[in-house]
Chains A and B, each alone.
Chain A
C-alpha cells in the first residue's frame, strides 16, 4: 500500500469528552486545556483575565462569591467630588474644610459620602460659609445642623458639578459593611462608599435597574439591611427662589414612604387671635383636637412677625390651644399659619366657599400621599382633623408645606371620604412640588407662594414655609386612590425585600420575598414572585403575585426576562411564564422544566442573543423561541457527565463576552482551580482552561458587561468580574 496522509484541516468541533476518543469527529478534540477554537480552521491559545480599560480597579471591600458587581447605563456622570476634611469644631458644628476654594453658597445642596461617621454622610444643605475653604451644613432630612463629633474625611459632591454625559456606572457592594461603591469610566478610583444598604454582614447583593435608577437588595435578608434606590434628579421643590433645587445622585430606601404628618384645619391662616401670654395660640372654633403631643414638630408661622415656632403642646377642648416655643415679638392679633413638620407631609386649610356647590353637610376626613419618581404613589396617611362642608356650597382648600422634602418626592395628593367610614378615598388635591396645586388631574396648577422670610427656633427651621393658592372645588370629586394607583387603599405595605429581580415589559419582578405581615413581622415567601404595576418599579401590592411550585421543597433563585417571557429559576426547576399580555389575566405558564434550575443567581446571564444559564445538567441557551442544551450537539452530548457534573458547583457563575460571542462558565467562584469552560457561539464548540485559577482562597464576584462608552472610544465593551482573595 502506498503512503497516505490523514489530514486534519479544522478543529472547530471543539471539545468532545463524552464519546470515546476513537469515535469523535475529525474536527473534534478529545482533550484541551487553555486553547480555544473560535475560528474555523485553527486552534489557538486561550485568552486571560486582564485589566479593564481605565485604571484604579482595586477596591478594599469584602465580597461574597458570585455576588456584588453590577453595571448600568446612565445619562449622568458623578461630576467632580471635592475631598473634605472635618478638622474644626465651629461652636459645636462640624466645619467642612476643602483643600481648594469650595465655591459654595448658603443653601446649596450637596451630597456627602465616604465619611467614617455616618452622620456626616447623606444629602446636606450648606448652612454657613466660614471661609472660602470651610463651610457648615445642615442635614437635609432632619434639618439639623451637623454637629462636630470628631475629625473625619470624605467627599462632597456639589450639585453644580454634574453634567449631562451618558456613561456606564459600575457598582460594587461590600458584603460586610453594606457600603456601596461607584465608579465611572473617567472617575478615577472607586468612589468612597456612596451609600449604605445596612449593617448586617454576609450581604449577597442583587440588583435591578430601570430608567437609570438602581435598586439593591440583600438576598441574605440581613436584619438591618434595606432595599435601596439610587437615582439622579434634576428636580425643583417650590418655584420660589427659596425652594430647593436638586441636581445630582441621591440614594434612598426603595420603599415609598407615606407622609407621617399632616393635619386639617379650617382656614388656619385667617386666625388672628393669640393669647396675651404670647405662647398660647388659639382661635375659637377653628382649632381642632389634633392630639399634638409636642414631639411632632408642627410649626406655627407668623408672616406678620416673620417668625416660626415649634408647637410643643395642645390644650384640651373646646379651644384646643396651641403652645409654642417662646415667641419673639407679639403675635396677638396676628395671622399665623400651621405648617407641617419638615418634609413629613402636608397640612390643609379648608373652609366652605360662598359659591354654590354640591357638597353635602357630612363630616369628612382626609388622607395624604407622596408621589415619587415615575409617578409612583405611596400608601395613604390619614390626617388629623376633619371638616364639615356647608351644604350646597363649594369648598376652598389651601395646602401648606415645610421644606426640605426628600429629593425623591415629586408631589403629593390629598384624598377625602366620609369620616370614620370605609369608603374609598377620593382625590381632592393633586400636588406638584414644583408647579403647585390643583383640584383635579385635568386642571392647571396654581403656584406655590413663599410665606416670607421667617426666623425659626429649635425644631422650626428658617425660611422653609410655603402654601399653595386657594383651590375652589364645587363638586365632590369621584376619582379614587385605587383607580389612580391600582393599589388597594388598605394595603399594609407595598415594599418587599427580594432574592431575585428583573425588569420585563415595564414591570419590576421580584422573587423569594420577605414582606411585612399584618403585625409588622417579616414573613418569607420563597415560592412567590411579585410584580409591580406598569411603570411603578418600587410598588409591590400584596395581591400582585404569582405562586409557582408551592411547598415543593425549593425556592426561587433567579429571575430573567426575554422575549415576553419571564424565566423563573428555582434550584431544580424552571418556570417559563408568558407575560406578553398587558394584564395578568392573560399570563400563563408556558412551560415547566425539571432539572433546569440554578443554584446561584449568577449562574444566569442575559445577553443580546438570549438567556444563558448553567447547572449540573448542562449549559442552556434560550434564543427567544427554544431552549437548547449547549453541551449537546445534534442530540449528542459533547462534555461527559462526569466532567460536567464535577465541574459545576453551587457557586458556578456564567458570563458572556459580547464582542467575541463567547460564553464563559466559571465552575466555582469560591475555589482555587479556576476552571472555565468556554463556548464559542460562532463555531458552536467548547474549550476549557484554567485562567481563573488563583490562590487557594481565591474567589470571584459575578460577571457583568460594561458597554462601550458612547463618547470615549478608549472604553470598549468588556465582560467584567471582580477577583479577590479573602
Chain B
C-alpha cells in the first residue's frame, strides 16, 4: 500500500507549541559573592493564561535542575500587547548565580526583555 505523502510548507508565523528558553547562568559579574535575589520583571505576550510558577523556574549556583520553589501560583493573564510580568519570590533567594527558564506549555508566547532584581551582599561564597 502506498504511503500518503502530504505536502507541507514551513510557516514561520508563531504556532501553538510547548516551548521554553533558558538564560545564561547569571552571576551578576561577581562570582565570589552571594547575592540576594528578589524578583524577576519581564514584558510578555501570551495566547493563554498561565500561572507564575509554571511560567518561570530557576536553577541556582550552576545547577541543572529547574524548580519553582518560592514562586507564587498567581495567574498571569493572556495578552496580545506587551504586558508587565512581575514575579516576586515569596522567600528571597540567596545564591552565587541563577539561571532562569521561561516556559509556556501551549499557545504562543513572546518575551521582549527581562530583568532580575538583586542585591549583592558582603558575604563570600563558601
Contacts and interface: CB of A to CB of B under 8 A. Distances in A.
Interface in A676-726: 689, 691, 699, 701, 718-726
**Most chain-A Cβ atoms within 10 A of its Cβ — which of B5, B20, B122?**
B5
A701 B101 CA distance: 35
Contacts of B4: 58-60, 724-725
Contacts of B23: 8, 29-30
A46 B99 CA distance: 22
A3 B2 contact: no
B13 A47 contact: yes
Given A47-B13, A721-B10, A28 B116 contact: no
Given A11-B111, A30-B99, A720 B25 contact: no
Given A21-B99, A44-B14, A176 B8 contact: no
Contacts of A699: 3
B5 A724 contact: yes
A3 B119 contact: yes
Nearest to B38: A3
Contact of B119 (A1, A21, A43, A660): A1
Given A58-B5, A63-B3, A6 B17 contact: no
Contact of B5 (A47, A52, A59): A59
Contact of A31 (B20, B110, B116): B20
Contacts of A68: 5
A604 interface: no
B43 to A, nearest CB: 9
A8 B114 contact: yes
A577 interface: no
B6 A58 contact: yes
Contact of A720 (B3, B8, B122): B8
Contact of A51 (B9, B21, B111): B9
A93 interface: no
A20 B25 contact: yes
Interface in B64-113: 97, 99, 101, 104, 107-113
Nearest to A31: B22
A35 B21 contact: yes
A492 interface: no
A2 B119 CA distance: 6
A363 interface: no
A725 B24 contact: no
B9 A718 contact: yes
Contact of A34 (B6, B11, B19): B19
B121 interface: yes
B125 interface: no
Contact of A30 (B24, B111, B115): B24
A61 interface: yes
Interface string B8-52: 111111111111111111111001000000100100000000000
Dominant SS among interface residues on chain A = strand
Contacts of A701: 5
A170 interface: yes
A45 interface: yes
For chain B, which range describes its interface: under 10, 10 to 19, 20 to 34, or 35 or more residues? 35 or more
Given A8-B115, A22-B97, A723-B8, A43 B20 contact: no
A674 B86 CA distance: 35
Interface in A621-667: 655, 657, 659-660, 662, 664
**Most chain-A Cβ atoms within 10 A of its Cβ — which of B3, B25, B113?**
B3
**Most chain-A Cβ atoms within 10 A of its Cβ — which of B4, B117, B118?**
B4
Contact of B41 (A5, A53, A720): A5
B3 A724 contact: yes
Contacts of B121: 1
A647 to B, nearest CB: 18
A423 B91 CA distance: 99
Contacts of A719: 9-10
Interface in A16-50: 20-26, 28-35, 38, 41-50
A409 B54 CA distance: 70
A83 B26 CA distance: 68
A721 B113 contact: no
Contacts of B19: 33-35, 45-46
Contacts of A726: 3
A52 B6 CA distance: 10
A9 B3 contact: no
A26 to B, nearest CB: 7
Contacts of B25: 20-22, 30
**Most chain-B Cβ atoms within 10 A of its Cβ — which of A7, A34, A45, A719?**
A45
A718 B8 CA distance: 9
Contacts of A63: 3, 5
B35 to A, nearest CB: 9
A517 B77 CA distance: 73
A680 to B, nearest CB: 10
A29 B22 contact: yes
A725 B22 CA distance: 33
Given A25-B24, A30-B99, A45-B109, A722 B6 contact: yes
B17 A689 contact: yes
A57 interface: yes
A718 B110 CA distance: 24
A7 B113 CA distance: 7
Nearest to B3: A724
Contact of B7 (A9, A29, A44, A170): A170
B17 A34 contact: yes
Contacts of A6: 26, 28, 115-116, 118
A57 B6 contact: yes
B15 A172 contact: no
Given A6-B116, A44-B108, A722 B5 contact: yes
Contacts of A47: 10-15
A4 B21 contact: no
A1 B24 contact: no
**Most chain-A Cβ atoms within 10 A of its Cβ — which of B7, B38, B41, B116?**
B7
**Most chain-A Cβ atoms within 10 A of its Cβ — which of B12, B23, B104, B119?**
B12
Contacts of B7: 52, 57, 59, 69, 170, 172, 720-723
**Most chain-B Cβ atoms within 10 A of its Cβ — which of A34, A68, A662, A719?**
A34
A3 B5 contact: no
Given A4-B120, A174-B2, A721-B8, 8 more contacts: A4-B117, A8-B113, A22-B26, A42-B110, A43-B21, A50-B11, A722-B7, A723-B8
Interface of B: 2-28, 31, 38, 41, 62, 97, 99, 101, 104, 107-122
5 A-B pairs with least C-beta separation: A48-B15, A50-B11, A45-B14, A34-B19, A34-B17
Interface of A: 1-11, 20-26, 28-35, 38, 41-53, 57-63, 68-69, 170, 172, 174, 176, 655, 657, 659-660, 662, 664, 689, 691, 699, 701, 718-726
23 contacts: A3-B118, A4-B120, A5-B41, A7-B114, A8-B23, A30-B25, A32-B22, A42-B111, A43-B111, A44-B109, A45-B15, A46-B19, A47-B10, A49-B8, A49-B9, A50-B10, A57-B6, A59-B4, A59-B7, A657-B10, A689-B17, A721-B8, A722-B7
